[in-house]
Structure 1
Amino acid sequence: MTFMVMRAFFHSLFNGPVWRTFLLMGVFGGLFASSSYNLLELFTANYRYVADYGIMALMEGGLRQLLELILFGYLSVGFYILFKGCLYGLLAHVAKH
């Protein structure tokens, strides 16, 4: 039941009116850019911090920061997938006409 609702939602999102799909593609592209900005440098800095200070770094917030960075990584991947879904929806619309 839930799968069917989600499938219908994404179908309407990607294959709805062209103007809406194009607008959402821009929104998802912007969200992807803002959520993934500087993510690699932050992962590297967190790794160095934990590597240099060990367990003390983890207790002082290094582990929480690592989990937040992982969450932001998955969030940015989700926005990228939504962006690409809108792109493929628009390309399918262009191919039909």
Structure 2
Amino acid sequence: MPHTEMTVGALIDLLSVCDRSAPVRQAMNPFFPMAHRLEQVVQATDETGQTVVYLAEGRDADTQLGHLPPEVAVLLAWQVPVQTPPRRPRRTVGGQ
């Protein structure tokens, strides 16, 4: 059975019933950033009584899509931009 991606429209529909001033939180691992499918939006109250909206991934085996693209990890400030090292001249057959 193919798994469908959640669309922005579906996410907006789910978020439209939540408190608009509530922060949105998602638990992720910035030290090993991976891309995950979003499946649920849950509005709850935290320990301080503040309304919070949580975004959750699914439970299916294919929920984890693979590594997060490096440019996204950089935009999230989870990784620093990496420049390719300068190229060295190639050695010739004679070792020079």
Tell whether the structures are fold-level matches, with TM greater than 0.5.
no
Which one has a larger percent helix, Structure 1 or Structure 2? 1
Which one has a larger percent strand, Structure 1 or Structure 2? 2
- TM-score norm. by structure 2 comes to 0.21
* Bigger CA radius of gyration: 2
- TM-score norm. by structure 1 comes to 0.21
**Greater relative contact order (Cα 8 A, min sep 6): structure 1 or 2?**
1
